[in-house]
Amino acid sequence: MAQLHVEQWGSGDRVAVLVHGITADSSSWWRTAPELARRGYRVLAPDLPGHGRSERWDAYTLEAMADALADSLPEAPALALGHSLGALLLALALDRLKPERTVYVDPAWAAPPPDGGAMVAMLRAQKDWDLERVRTALPRWESQAQKGKLTALAHWDPATLESFEGFTGYAPPAPAGPALLVLADPSYNIPPQRAEELRTQGLEVRVVADTGHVVHNEDFAGFKTALQGWY
């Protein structure tokens, strides 16, 4: 299995792993990673297959992407945090990574909606965005995040969308260790009833009010508040 490109911040004794979502790359953590490094972590953020500086593949599956993630990161980090697709892949690789604490940010665990084809087409269309379109679509993001999104899209392989073919949703088992679910508001991936079910399974659930899917770029202050006690 090819190794993923991994960015690093800090040199602390504790390791934190950050896994981005689809169409993004490790630069998505431009504020989160330095914050964790200041708190004493060595932060590792991989570019997923077909994203950033990692290799493009002839074909993508969720299982193969999760394998690449596990093969590219050290076992037993103090903290593992994944967003969207990254949260799904993190969950699939959890038995190999064995983090002490796990944070899932608006994870892509729900089955695609009946109009899932429209959602795929919408994501694929982002490949043609320019900076003005990014700013229009993501007005609450800071300028650096908007520019990072454009660069990430330039390096993103839309064929990664094929990894969701046949996906019927993911139901995580009861967590073996501390696990936090940070949700957008509203969250289309984890609606309130599903969030309550996950809470009863042992996940702590926190919602960042009035945020879009990429919580850490929509409201970084609110995101930091949601992570209190989990650093």
Tell me if the pTM is above 0.95. yes
How many C-beta atoms surround the C-beta of residue 115 within 10 A? 10
pLDDT band at 158 (very low <50, low <70, confident <90, very high): very high
Q: Which two tokens stand for residue 64?
A: 């193969």
Omega before 186 within 30 of 0, i.e. cis:
yes
pLDDT recorded at residue 45: 98
For range 46-50, the mean pLDDT: 98
Question: Which has more pLDDT, 2 or 231?
Answer: 231
The pLDDT of residue 1 is above 60: no
pLDDT recorded at residue 114: 76
pLDDT recorded at residue 116: 66
The pLDDT of residue 229 is above 80: yes
Q: What is the mean pLDDT of the chain?
A: 96
Cross-sheet strand order for the sheet of 79-83: 6-9, 41-46, 14-19, 79-83, 101-105, 179-183, 204-207
For range 69-93, the mean pLDDT: 97
**Given its phi and psi angles, is residue 6 left (phi above 0), alpha (psi -120 to 50 degrees) or beta?**
beta
- As a whole number of angstroms, the distance between CA 77 and CA 183 comes to 23
Quick one: three-class SS letters along 151-192? Answer: HHHHHCCHHHHHHHCCCCCCCCCCCCCCEEEEECECCCCCCH
Domain extents in the chain: 6-226
For range 167-182, the mean pLDDT: 94
For range 97-103, the mean pLDDT: 97
The pLDDT of residue 19 is above 60: yes
pLDDT recorded at residue 231: 86
pLDDT recorded at residue 119: 87
For range 185-203, the mean pLDDT: 96
- Are 71 and 48 in contact, with CB atoms under 8 Å apart? no
Domain range 6-226, its CATH number among 3.40.640.10, 3.40.50.1820, 3.40.50.150, 3.60.21.10: 3.40.50.1820
pLDDT band at 150 (very low <50, low <70, confident <90, very high): very high
pLDDT recorded at residue 113: 77
